[in-house]
Amino acid sequence: MISPSSATLRAAEDLALVVGGEFVSPDADGAIAVLPENTQQISVIFRYATKNGLTVDPRGGGTKQRWGSGAVPDVRLRLTRLDRVLDHPWQDLTCTVQAGCTWASLQQNLAKHGQFVALDPLFSDRATVGGIIATNDSGSLRQRYGSLRDLVIGMTLVLPDGTIARTGGRVVKNVAGYDLSKLMTGSMGTLAVITEANFRLHALPQYSRTFTVTASDAIRLAPLLAAVRGSHLLVQSLQLRRNKTEAHLDICLISHTAAQQDALLAGMARDKGLALQEASAAPCFKRETLLIDGSTFIRVSTLPTNTCAFADELQRVAPRIDIASISQGIGLHDVSLRGPGGEITDAINQIRSKYSTTVTVLQPGPAVDATAFTIPAAVMSVMRAIKHNFDPGGILGPGKFFASA
Protein backbone atom coordinates (compact mmCIF):
# COMPACT_ATOMS: atom_id res chain seq x y z
CA MET A 1 0.00 0.00 0.00
CA ILE A 2 1.48 3.31 -1.08
CA SER A 3 0.16 6.30 0.83
CA PRO A 4 -1.14 9.20 -1.21
CA SER A 5 0.89 12.42 -1.28
CA SER A 6 -0.34 15.45 0.62
CA ALA A 7 -1.44 17.03 -2.68
CA THR A 8 -3.64 14.06 -3.54
CA LEU A 9 -5.00 13.96 0.00
CA ARG A 10 -6.10 17.54 -0.40
CA ALA A 11 -7.57 16.64 -3.79
CA ALA A 12 -9.50 13.80 -2.13
CA GLU A 13 -11.08 16.26 0.28
CA ASP A 14 -11.97 18.72 -2.46
CA LEU A 15 -13.35 16.08 -4.82
CA ALA A 16 -15.45 14.62 -2.01
CA LEU A 17 -17.41 17.87 -2.19
CA VAL A 18 -18.21 17.07 -5.84
CA VAL A 19 -19.13 13.39 -5.71
CA GLY A 20 -19.79 12.81 -1.98
CA GLY A 21 -17.34 11.49 0.60
CA GLU A 22 -18.37 7.87 0.22
CA PHE A 23 -17.28 7.96 -3.43
CA VAL A 24 -13.68 8.99 -2.81
CA SER A 25 -11.11 6.53 -1.47
CA PRO A 26 -7.40 5.80 -1.73
CA ASP A 27 -6.29 2.95 -4.03
CA ALA A 28 -3.45 0.61 -3.05
CA ASP A 29 -1.05 2.20 -5.54
CA GLY A 30 -1.41 5.70 -4.10
CA ALA A 31 -3.99 7.00 -6.56
CA ILE A 32 -7.21 8.55 -5.31
CA ALA A 33 -10.24 6.66 -6.64
CA VAL A 34 -13.14 8.97 -7.46
CA LEU A 35 -16.55 7.65 -8.51
CA PRO A 36 -18.61 10.34 -10.25
CA GLU A 37 -22.33 9.92 -10.81
CA ASN A 38 -22.70 11.67 -14.14
CA THR A 39 -21.05 13.51 -17.02
CA GLN A 40 -21.34 16.91 -15.32
CA GLN A 41 -19.43 15.73 -12.26
CA ILE A 42 -16.67 14.40 -14.51
CA SER A 43 -16.43 17.81 -16.12
CA VAL A 44 -16.03 19.44 -12.70
CA ILE A 45 -13.40 16.88 -11.66
CA PHE A 46 -11.44 17.56 -14.85
CA ARG A 47 -11.49 21.30 -14.39
CA TYR A 48 -10.21 20.77 -10.87
CA ALA A 49 -7.46 18.38 -12.04
CA THR A 50 -6.35 20.73 -14.82
CA LYS A 51 -6.22 23.68 -12.47
CA ASN A 52 -4.18 21.72 -9.93
CA GLY A 53 -1.97 19.83 -12.36
CA LEU A 54 -3.24 16.40 -11.27
CA THR A 55 -3.03 13.45 -13.64
CA VAL A 56 -6.21 11.44 -14.29
CA ASP A 57 -6.73 7.93 -15.62
CA PRO A 58 -10.22 6.57 -16.36
CA ARG A 59 -11.16 3.07 -15.24
CA GLY A 60 -14.15 0.88 -15.95
CA GLY A 61 -14.13 -2.73 -14.80
CA GLY A 62 -10.34 -2.71 -14.49
CA THR A 63 -9.92 -5.80 -16.66
CA LYS A 64 -7.45 -4.10 -19.01
CA GLN A 65 -6.08 -1.44 -16.68
CA ARG A 66 -2.51 -2.41 -17.47
CA TRP A 67 -2.92 -2.26 -21.25
CA GLY A 68 -0.80 0.45 -22.77
CA SER A 69 1.60 0.52 -19.80
CA GLY A 70 0.41 3.73 -18.21
CA ALA A 71 1.80 5.31 -15.05
CA VAL A 72 -0.07 5.58 -11.74
CA PRO A 73 -2.30 8.68 -11.91
CA ASP A 74 -3.11 11.08 -9.10
CA VAL A 75 -6.82 10.54 -9.65
CA ARG A 76 -8.34 7.29 -10.87
CA LEU A 77 -11.70 8.13 -12.37
CA ARG A 78 -13.92 5.09 -11.87
CA LEU A 79 -16.95 5.09 -14.12
CA THR A 80 -18.79 2.18 -12.56
CA ARG A 81 -21.67 4.35 -11.29
CA LEU A 82 -22.52 5.37 -14.85
CA ASP A 83 -23.93 1.93 -15.56
CA ARG A 84 -27.30 2.38 -17.22
CA VAL A 85 -28.66 1.57 -20.66
CA LEU A 86 -30.31 4.93 -21.35
CA ASP A 87 -32.26 4.12 -24.47
CA HIS A 88 -32.95 1.19 -26.75
CA PRO A 89 -35.19 2.20 -29.65
CA TRP A 90 -35.12 -1.35 -30.95
CA GLN A 91 -37.01 -0.65 -34.15
CA ASP A 92 -34.22 1.76 -35.09
CA LEU A 93 -31.60 -0.87 -34.19
CA THR A 94 -29.65 1.57 -32.00
CA CYS A 95 -28.98 2.09 -28.30
CA THR A 96 -27.45 4.64 -25.95
CA VAL A 97 -25.56 3.38 -22.94
CA GLN A 98 -23.43 4.89 -20.19
CA ALA A 99 -19.73 4.10 -20.29
CA GLY A 100 -19.60 2.25 -16.98
CA CYS A 101 -22.19 -0.35 -17.97
CA THR A 102 -20.71 -3.83 -18.23
CA TRP A 103 -20.80 -5.46 -21.62
CA ALA A 104 -22.79 -8.43 -20.34
CA SER A 105 -25.41 -6.21 -18.76
CA LEU A 106 -25.78 -4.19 -21.97
CA GLN A 107 -26.18 -7.35 -24.03
CA GLN A 108 -28.75 -8.80 -21.60
CA ASN A 109 -30.82 -5.65 -22.02
CA LEU A 110 -30.61 -5.71 -25.81
CA ALA A 111 -31.37 -9.42 -25.99
CA LYS A 112 -34.89 -8.71 -24.70
CA HIS A 113 -35.61 -7.59 -28.25
CA GLY A 114 -33.42 -10.19 -29.91
CA GLN A 115 -30.62 -7.73 -30.63
CA PHE A 116 -26.99 -7.23 -29.67
CA VAL A 117 -23.90 -5.14 -30.25
CA ALA A 118 -22.05 -7.48 -32.57
CA LEU A 119 -18.80 -7.66 -30.63
CA ASP A 120 -17.39 -10.24 -28.22
CA PRO A 121 -14.77 -8.50 -26.08
CA LEU A 122 -12.70 -10.08 -23.30
CA PHE A 123 -14.16 -10.41 -19.79
CA SER A 124 -17.61 -9.23 -20.87
CA ASP A 125 -19.06 -9.84 -17.41
CA ARG A 126 -16.78 -7.20 -15.89
CA ALA A 127 -15.41 -5.10 -18.77
CA THR A 128 -17.32 -1.88 -19.40
CA VAL A 129 -18.47 -0.13 -22.54
CA GLY A 130 -16.02 2.75 -22.07
CA GLY A 131 -13.01 0.55 -21.39
CA ILE A 132 -13.76 -1.74 -24.31
CA ILE A 133 -13.99 1.25 -26.67
CA ALA A 134 -10.85 2.89 -25.27
CA THR A 135 -8.85 -0.32 -25.81
CA ASN A 136 -10.63 -1.24 -29.07
CA ASP A 137 -11.02 -4.87 -28.09
CA SER A 138 -12.66 -7.31 -30.45
CA GLY A 139 -13.08 -11.05 -30.75
CA SER A 140 -14.32 -13.66 -33.17
CA LEU A 141 -17.43 -11.72 -34.27
CA ARG A 142 -15.13 -9.30 -36.06
CA GLN A 143 -15.06 -11.67 -39.02
CA ARG A 144 -18.65 -10.86 -39.87
CA TYR A 145 -19.47 -7.53 -38.21
CA GLY A 146 -16.21 -5.58 -38.19
CA SER A 147 -14.68 -3.86 -35.19
CA LEU A 148 -15.93 -1.11 -32.88
CA ARG A 149 -15.25 1.57 -35.47
CA ASP A 150 -18.07 0.00 -37.50
CA LEU A 151 -20.45 -0.24 -34.55
CA VAL A 152 -20.13 2.99 -32.53
CA ILE A 153 -22.25 5.78 -34.03
CA GLY A 154 -21.91 8.51 -31.43
CA MET A 155 -20.44 9.45 -28.06
CA THR A 156 -20.49 11.92 -25.23
CA LEU A 157 -17.01 12.96 -24.14
CA VAL A 158 -15.44 15.03 -21.43
CA LEU A 159 -12.17 16.70 -22.36
CA PRO A 160 -9.39 17.43 -19.86
CA ASP A 161 -10.40 21.10 -19.69
CA GLY A 162 -13.92 20.06 -18.68
CA THR A 163 -15.53 20.58 -22.10
CA ILE A 164 -18.49 18.26 -22.63
CA ALA A 165 -18.74 17.39 -26.31
CA ARG A 166 -21.03 15.17 -28.33
CA THR A 167 -19.93 13.54 -31.54
CA GLY A 168 -21.80 11.56 -34.17
CA GLY A 169 -25.44 10.94 -33.38
CA ARG A 170 -28.13 8.33 -32.84
CA VAL A 171 -28.68 7.41 -36.46
CA VAL A 172 -26.64 4.78 -38.28
CA LYS A 173 -25.99 6.95 -41.32
CA ASN A 174 -24.44 10.31 -40.58
CA VAL A 175 -21.52 12.19 -42.11
CA ALA A 176 -21.99 15.56 -40.41
CA GLY A 177 -18.62 16.76 -39.13
CA TYR A 178 -15.54 14.81 -38.06
CA ASP A 179 -16.17 11.33 -36.72
CA LEU A 180 -14.50 11.78 -33.35
CA SER A 181 -15.91 8.45 -32.16
CA LYS A 182 -13.34 6.78 -34.38
CA LEU A 183 -10.57 8.92 -32.91
CA MET A 184 -11.63 7.89 -29.39
CA THR A 185 -11.85 4.19 -30.23
CA GLY A 186 -8.51 2.68 -29.25
CA SER A 187 -7.13 5.96 -27.90
CA MET A 188 -6.53 4.27 -24.53
CA GLY A 189 -8.21 7.10 -22.67
CA THR A 190 -5.53 9.63 -23.60
CA LEU A 191 -7.71 12.28 -25.29
CA ALA A 192 -10.98 12.45 -23.39
CA VAL A 193 -13.16 10.35 -21.15
CA ILE A 194 -16.08 8.61 -22.82
CA THR A 195 -19.22 8.91 -20.68
CA GLU A 196 -21.89 7.66 -23.09
CA ALA A 197 -21.85 5.72 -26.34
CA ASN A 198 -24.41 5.09 -29.06
CA PHE A 199 -24.22 1.81 -30.95
CA ARG A 200 -25.75 0.41 -34.07
CA LEU A 201 -27.22 -3.00 -33.32
CA HIS A 202 -27.72 -6.26 -35.16
CA ALA A 203 -30.35 -8.93 -34.78
CA LEU A 204 -29.11 -11.97 -32.89
CA PRO A 205 -28.62 -14.78 -35.39
CA GLN A 206 -31.53 -17.20 -35.41
CA TYR A 207 -29.42 -20.19 -36.33
CA SER A 208 -25.86 -20.95 -35.46
CA ARG A 209 -23.66 -24.04 -35.59
CA THR A 210 -19.99 -24.27 -34.76
CA PHE A 211 -17.56 -26.78 -36.21
CA THR A 212 -13.96 -27.50 -35.41
CA VAL A 213 -11.24 -29.05 -37.51
CA THR A 214 -8.08 -30.23 -35.77
CA ALA A 215 -4.59 -30.77 -37.16
CA SER A 216 -1.03 -31.02 -35.86
CA ASP A 217 0.04 -27.80 -37.62
CA ALA A 218 -1.92 -24.72 -38.56
CA ILE A 219 -0.52 -24.78 -42.08
CA ARG A 220 -2.52 -27.97 -42.76
CA LEU A 221 -5.66 -25.93 -42.05
CA ALA A 222 -4.64 -23.04 -44.31
CA PRO A 223 -6.29 -24.38 -47.51
CA LEU A 224 -9.62 -24.78 -45.71
CA LEU A 225 -9.37 -21.32 -44.11
CA ALA A 226 -8.68 -19.78 -47.53
CA ALA A 227 -11.53 -21.73 -49.11
CA VAL A 228 -14.00 -20.59 -46.42
CA ARG A 229 -12.89 -16.97 -46.83
CA GLY A 230 -13.50 -17.16 -50.56
CA SER A 231 -16.81 -19.03 -50.26
CA HIS A 232 -20.45 -18.00 -50.08
CA LEU A 233 -20.92 -19.51 -46.63
CA LEU A 234 -22.57 -17.28 -44.03
CA VAL A 235 -19.67 -17.34 -41.61
CA GLN A 236 -19.98 -15.53 -38.30
CA SER A 237 -16.61 -16.55 -36.91
CA LEU A 238 -13.51 -18.07 -38.44
CA GLN A 239 -10.83 -18.64 -35.89
CA LEU A 240 -7.59 -20.53 -35.46
CA ARG A 241 -6.40 -21.77 -32.06
CA ARG A 242 -2.79 -22.90 -31.80
CA ASN A 243 -0.76 -24.25 -28.91
CA LYS A 244 2.42 -26.31 -28.61
CA THR A 245 0.85 -29.53 -29.75
CA GLU A 246 -2.01 -28.82 -32.12
CA ALA A 247 -4.09 -26.41 -34.14
CA HIS A 248 -7.88 -26.03 -34.37
CA LEU A 249 -9.90 -24.16 -36.94
CA ASP A 250 -13.29 -23.06 -35.55
CA ILE A 251 -16.02 -22.09 -37.98
CA CYS A 252 -19.38 -20.73 -36.89
CA LEU A 253 -22.10 -20.76 -39.55
CA ILE A 254 -25.31 -18.76 -39.14
CA SER A 255 -27.33 -19.73 -42.17
CA HIS A 256 -30.83 -21.18 -42.05
CA THR A 257 -30.81 -24.94 -41.58
CA ALA A 258 -32.59 -25.37 -44.90
CA ALA A 259 -29.64 -23.79 -46.70
CA GLN A 260 -27.60 -26.86 -45.70
CA GLN A 261 -24.38 -24.94 -45.51
CA ASP A 262 -23.03 -27.36 -42.91
CA ALA A 263 -23.01 -30.05 -45.58
CA LEU A 264 -21.23 -27.69 -47.96
CA LEU A 265 -18.61 -26.97 -45.33
CA ALA A 266 -18.15 -30.65 -44.56
CA GLY A 267 -17.56 -31.24 -48.27
CA MET A 268 -14.97 -28.48 -48.41
CA ALA A 269 -13.15 -29.98 -45.43
CA ARG A 270 -13.24 -33.46 -46.98
CA ASP A 271 -11.73 -32.07 -50.20
CA LYS A 272 -8.76 -30.86 -48.16
CA GLY A 273 -8.44 -34.20 -46.38
CA LEU A 274 -9.82 -32.83 -43.11
CA ALA A 275 -12.63 -33.91 -40.83
CA LEU A 276 -15.25 -31.60 -39.40
CA GLN A 277 -16.56 -31.99 -35.87
CA GLU A 278 -19.50 -30.16 -34.39
CA ALA A 279 -18.39 -28.16 -31.35
CA SER A 280 -19.87 -26.02 -28.64
CA ALA A 281 -19.35 -22.35 -29.45
CA ALA A 282 -18.72 -20.96 -25.97
CA PRO A 283 -15.41 -22.69 -25.15
CA CYS A 284 -14.11 -22.29 -28.72
CA PHE A 285 -14.44 -18.55 -28.85
CA LYS A 286 -13.38 -17.76 -25.30
CA ARG A 287 -10.07 -15.85 -25.26
CA GLU A 288 -9.76 -15.25 -21.52
CA THR A 289 -7.54 -18.33 -21.14
CA LEU A 290 -4.77 -16.34 -22.83
CA LEU A 291 -4.64 -13.91 -19.92
CA ILE A 292 -3.63 -16.16 -17.07
CA ASP A 293 -1.79 -14.45 -14.22
CA GLY A 294 1.73 -13.54 -15.21
CA SER A 295 1.37 -14.19 -18.92
CA THR A 296 2.40 -11.60 -21.47
CA PHE A 297 -0.43 -10.72 -23.82
CA ILE A 298 0.28 -9.32 -27.26
CA ARG A 299 -1.84 -8.63 -30.32
CA VAL A 300 -0.30 -9.17 -33.73
CA SER A 301 -1.63 -8.28 -37.17
CA THR A 302 -0.70 -10.13 -40.35
CA LEU A 303 -2.23 -10.36 -43.78
CA PRO A 304 -5.18 -12.79 -43.81
CA THR A 305 -3.29 -15.22 -46.04
CA ASN A 306 -0.49 -15.47 -43.47
CA THR A 307 -2.78 -16.37 -40.57
CA CYS A 308 -1.89 -20.06 -40.39
CA ALA A 309 1.78 -19.78 -41.30
CA PHE A 310 2.28 -17.11 -38.67
CA ALA A 311 0.58 -19.15 -35.96
CA ASP A 312 3.01 -21.99 -36.70
CA GLU A 313 5.97 -19.59 -36.79
CA LEU A 314 5.05 -18.35 -33.32
CA GLN A 315 5.68 -21.84 -31.96
CA ARG A 316 9.16 -21.88 -33.51
CA VAL A 317 10.22 -18.38 -32.38
CA ALA A 318 11.08 -19.45 -28.84
CA PRO A 319 10.68 -23.18 -28.24
CA ARG A 320 11.42 -22.81 -24.53
CA ILE A 321 8.55 -20.52 -23.71
CA ASP A 322 4.92 -21.50 -23.68
CA ILE A 323 3.04 -19.74 -26.46
CA ALA A 324 -0.67 -20.03 -27.21
CA SER A 325 -2.50 -18.05 -29.85
CA ILE A 326 -6.06 -17.41 -30.96
CA SER A 327 -6.14 -15.92 -34.43
CA GLN A 328 -9.04 -14.51 -36.40
CA GLY A 329 -9.12 -15.48 -40.07
CA ILE A 330 -8.68 -11.82 -41.02
CA GLY A 331 -5.11 -11.99 -39.67
CA LEU A 332 -5.53 -10.75 -36.11
CA HIS A 333 -3.68 -12.80 -33.52
CA ASP A 334 -4.11 -12.68 -29.74
CA VAL A 335 -1.02 -14.29 -28.27
CA SER A 336 -0.13 -15.34 -24.75
CA LEU A 337 3.52 -15.93 -23.83
CA ARG A 338 4.63 -17.56 -20.58
CA GLY A 339 8.23 -18.05 -19.47
CA PRO A 340 11.30 -16.09 -18.43
CA GLY A 341 10.87 -12.35 -19.08
CA GLY A 342 14.11 -12.02 -21.03
CA GLU A 343 13.17 -14.76 -23.47
CA ILE A 344 9.72 -13.30 -24.00
CA THR A 345 11.31 -9.91 -24.71
CA ASP A 346 13.58 -11.58 -27.27
CA ALA A 347 10.67 -13.39 -28.85
CA ILE A 348 8.68 -10.15 -29.24
CA ASN A 349 11.67 -8.40 -30.77
CA GLN A 350 12.14 -11.27 -33.21
CA ILE A 351 8.49 -11.19 -34.25
CA ARG A 352 8.79 -7.45 -34.79
CA SER A 353 11.92 -7.64 -36.90
CA LYS A 354 11.45 -10.88 -38.86
CA TYR A 355 7.84 -10.76 -40.02
CA SER A 356 5.75 -8.09 -41.70
CA THR A 357 3.48 -7.66 -38.75
CA THR A 358 2.40 -5.02 -36.31
CA VAL A 359 2.79 -6.07 -32.70
CA THR A 360 1.13 -4.41 -29.74
CA VAL A 361 2.25 -5.49 -26.29
CA LEU A 362 -1.00 -5.02 -24.42
CA GLN A 363 -0.01 -6.56 -21.12
CA PRO A 364 3.64 -7.30 -20.38
CA GLY A 365 4.39 -10.04 -17.87
CA PRO A 366 7.01 -9.69 -15.10
CA ALA A 367 10.50 -8.66 -16.30
CA VAL A 368 9.33 -8.26 -19.89
CA ASP A 369 10.89 -5.18 -21.44
CA ALA A 370 9.24 -4.42 -24.78
CA THR A 371 7.74 -1.23 -26.18
CA ALA A 372 3.95 -1.32 -26.06
CA PHE A 373 3.42 0.25 -29.47
CA THR A 374 5.61 0.85 -32.47
CA ILE A 375 4.21 3.79 -34.41
CA PRO A 376 5.94 5.45 -37.37
CA ALA A 377 7.39 8.90 -36.57
CA ALA A 378 5.22 10.79 -39.09
CA VAL A 379 2.03 9.30 -37.60
CA MET A 380 3.35 9.89 -34.10
CA SER A 381 3.80 13.58 -34.80
CA VAL A 382 0.13 13.93 -35.87
CA MET A 383 -0.91 12.00 -32.78
CA ARG A 384 1.20 14.27 -30.62
CA ALA A 385 -0.41 17.37 -32.16
CA ILE A 386 -3.90 15.96 -31.51
CA LYS A 387 -2.93 15.01 -27.97
CA HIS A 388 -1.61 18.51 -27.38
CA ASN A 389 -4.82 20.13 -28.62
CA PHE A 390 -7.03 17.87 -26.51
CA ASP A 391 -4.85 17.69 -23.43
CA PRO A 392 -2.27 20.50 -23.42
CA GLY A 393 -1.40 19.86 -19.77
CA GLY A 394 -0.83 16.15 -20.41
CA ILE A 395 -2.99 15.17 -17.44
CA LEU A 396 -4.94 12.32 -19.05
CA GLY A 397 -3.76 8.71 -19.28
CA PRO A 398 -0.22 9.47 -18.07
CA GLY A 399 2.47 7.39 -19.76
CA LYS A 400 0.29 5.94 -22.51
CA PHE A 401 1.48 6.38 -26.12
CA PHE A 402 3.54 9.43 -25.21
CA ALA A 403 6.38 8.69 -22.84
CA SER A 404 6.96 12.37 -22.08
CA ALA A 405 3.36 13.57 -22.12
Binding mask 251-290 for other proteins (x = CB under 8 A): ----xx-xxxx-----------------------------
Which position among 146, 223, 393, 398 is part of the footprint of other proteins (CB under 8 A)? 146
Residue 292's nearest CA partner among 325, 338, 246 is: 338
Which position among 234, 266, 281, 309 is part of the footprint of other proteins (CB under 8 A)? 234
1 scored as a contact of other proteins (CB under 8 A) = no
354 scored as a contact of other proteins (CB under 8 A) = no
Q: How far is the CB of 403 from other proteins (least distance, A)?
A: 14
41 scored as a contact of other proteins (CB under 8 A) = no
State which residue, 62 or 169, has the beta carbon closest to other proteins.
169
Q: How far is the CB of 138 from other proteins (least distance, A)?
A: 9
Q: How far is the CB of 24 from other proteins (least distance, A)?
A: 27
Give CA torsion, residues 401, 295, 285, 229, to 10 deg: 60
Q: How far is CA 38 from CA 34, 76, 127, 128, 176, in A?
A: 12, 15, 19, 15, 27
Asked if residue 152 lies in contact with residue 197, where contact means CB atoms within 8 angstroms, the answer is yes
Q: How far is the CB of 1 from other proteins (least distance, A)?
A: 34
Residues 60-99, interacting with other proteins (CB under 8 A): 89-94
Give CA torsion, residues 302, 306, 312, 318, to 10 deg: -40
38 scored as a contact of other proteins (CB under 8 A) = no
150 scored as a contact of other proteins (CB under 8 A) = yes
Residues 184-223, interacting with other proteins (CB under 8 A): 185-187, 191, 202-204, 206
Which position among 30, 223, 331, 398 is part of the footprint of other proteins (CB under 8 A)? 331
378 scored as a contact of other proteins (CB under 8 A) = yes
Work out the angle at residue 348's Cα, subtended by the Cα atoms of residues 396 and 308, and round it to the nearest 5 degrees.
110
The residues that bridge with 60 in the sheet, in sequence order, are: none
Strands 152-158 and 75-78: unpaired
Helices (H) and strands (E) in the chain, counts: 12, 19
C-alpha 295/C-alpha 300 separation (Å) is 16
Residues 6+ apart with CB under 8 A from 201: 90, 93, 94, 95, 110, 115, 116, 117, 118
141 scored as a contact of other proteins (CB under 8 A) = no
